[in-house]
Chain A
Amino acid sequence: MSTFLTATGLVLLAFFWQITLSGIQRKVTARIHRRVGSPWYQNFIDLFKTWSKSSISHGFIYDFGVLMALGGTIATLIFIPAGHIVVFDKLDNFFVITYLLAVGSLGMAMSAVGSGNPWASIGVMRALTQMLAYEIPYIMAVFAIIYANKTASIHAIALAQQGMGILGWNMFRMPLGVIVGFISLMGMLGKKPYDAPIAPAEIASGPLVEYGGKHLGMLMLQHEFATFVEVGLFVNLFLGGGTLLAFLIKYFIVYILATMIASVVARFKIDQLVVFYYKVPLALAFIQTAIVIFTGLG
């Protein structure tokens, strides 16, 4: 029972926190563009509005995929330790999270292809290519952490970084690893240099092209939850989690930093992106892992 309550609390926390942050992120982008920008609660209004509209179906796969994406992402979210809110202690394994997160992405891909729109197929193909690109350097950097800590439990890794003050964080113990992690995080979030899958002016927002009304609202919510999973994972792995307040502050800094970078850069083409990920971050991740394995530093 208490597990159930904690899980509900975590989902509610993620809902309010991440959607507020999305609004703030729009504001930050606007300020960088020297605009006034929308109010911070704009994303709540957008979400509720999409739920109040009508929507159409393109068949069973189309509807089912949306539910699978949202459900899969919420299931992943429950495994993320947020400060001392840990729902499944000792079960929050890194590999469980990686596998479950794929359920969300695959649900979305399935549903988008089910809509039968060619832009959606192009977008899904790009999204999967991008996943292949960022995941290999990221996994490599995380392997270094798992090797150094001899555990893959996210909560255990976060706890191991506390105690020595700020220098105990993996960010300082593995400086190359955190660079790789951050570049991969930008790719996971689909932030600006890596937003080829949803390029609105080029392929009409890619996988989202056929969604309107309630379906679009659910996928927007899925995106917010997935963002919470990805940023939360980064904070736990590299910045040492901490109490709930510390977790949220770190989360805020990481997310806003990614937004600031995203608002001043242009978009990579999908082939440039793959070449980039397989060159710089992969090389850095190799060096980091080699240092950890052969010298024991970190």
Chain B
Amino acid sequence: MALENEKFNEDKINEIDVNELDCRDTLTFWEKFGNIFRSKSIWMLHYCTGCGAMELPPTMTSRFDMERIGMAPMATPRQADVLLITGYLSVKTLRRIIYTYEQMQNPKYVVGFGSCTLNGGVYYDSYAVISRLDYYLPVDLYIAGCMPRPEAVMSGFKKLMNMIKKGEALGWKRYQKYYDWYKKNQVRALGEVYVKDEFHE
């Protein structure tokens, strides 16, 4: 038993406070200029495996109409700017999320919906569900709630826009700088992570 515990400890995630990580570069003029446009036009890719996806249709359509703040749904990861993770992530879907995230073009942002991405929510002790998303991907913004109502989603997006404009949404830089740490956690959860490329082999 003791041995097992030790082994488990060896395997443990090296806890660091990701928000303390320093990745603030000085922004050049062009980056500041670009951030104005980036904050006003956000194309999103919604990865709807969790229950939070239910709240997205009212947010997108006539009732709350997210197009009026410049957001639009996009069809593929290459075109999108923000990845919405709408709820719990099983280990199986985490792999797909990582592939998807790595296909997106810089600068890219991740928004986690609901308590499941935050700390596991009601699935905190499940064997099949990961409980903290920011061990695996750099999350820029969490929207709390189980599930967050459209009002909360809209105000969350507004907040994301402000962060982008001020140059504070730097998750993608964090992912590049601390890639080893993220990769280690991913490998720990999945066993292996590789991007399969069937067309250019």
B76 x A204 contact (CB < 8 A): yes
Give how many A residues have a beta carbon under 8 Å from the other chain's beta carbons: 33
Are A38 and B67 in contact, with the CB atoms below 8 A? yes
Separation of A55 and B79 alpha carbons in the complex (Å): 10
Are B65 and A35 in contact (CB-based, < 8 A)?
A: yes
Complex Cα distance A208/B77, Å? 11
Q: In the complex, are the beta carbons of A45 and B68 less than 8 A apart?
A: no
Contact call A36/B68, Cβ cutoff below 8 A: yes
Interface contacts (Cβ under 8 Å), in number, total 88
Bound CA–CA A203/B185 (angstroms): 33
Q: What distance in Å separates the Cβ of A203 from its nearest Cβ neighbour in chain B?
A: 9
Measured CB to CB, the closest approach of chain B to A273, in angstroms, equals 20
Chain B: minimal CB distance from A28 (Å): 13
Chain A neighbourhood of B107, CB < 8 A:
53-54
Give B7-41 interface residues, CB cut-off 8 Å to A: 30, 33-34, 37-38, 40-41
B34 & A35 in contact (Cβ 8 Å cutoff): no
| Residue B155 lies at the interface, judged by CB distance under 8 Å to chain A | no
Q: Name which of B33, B37, B43, B81 has the most chain A CB atoms within 10 A of its CB.
A: B37
By the criterion CB–CB under 8 Å, are B65 and A36 in contact? yes
- Chain B residues positioned under 8 Å from A271 (CB to CB): none
Fill in one digit per residue for A196-230: 1 if any B CB lies within 8 Å of its CB, else 0.
00001100110011111100100000000000000
Let me know if B67 and A30 touch, CB within 8 A.
yes
Partner of A45, one of B30, B70, B79: B70
Most central of A48, A201, A211 by chain B CB within 10 Å: A48
Tell me if B105 is interfacial: C-beta within 8 Å of chain A: yes
Instruction: Check: B122 CB closer than 8 A to any chain A CB.
Output: no
Beyond known contacts A38-B68, A49-B81, A205-B74: 19 more, CB 8 A cutoff: A33-B62, A34-B62, A35-B65, A37-B65, A37-B67, A42-B41, A42-B70, A52-B30, A52-B33, A53-B105, A54-B106, A116-B200, A200-B74, A201-B75, A204-B75, A204-B76, A208-B79, A211-B79, A212-B105
Interface of A toward B, CB cutoff 8 Å: 26, 30, 33-39, 42, 45-46, 48-49, 52-56, 58, 116-117, 200-201, 204-205, 208-213, 216
> Interface residues, chain B, CB within 8 Å of chain A?
30, 33-34, 37-38, 40-41, 43, 61-62, 65, 67-68, 70, 74-79, 81, 104-107, 199-200
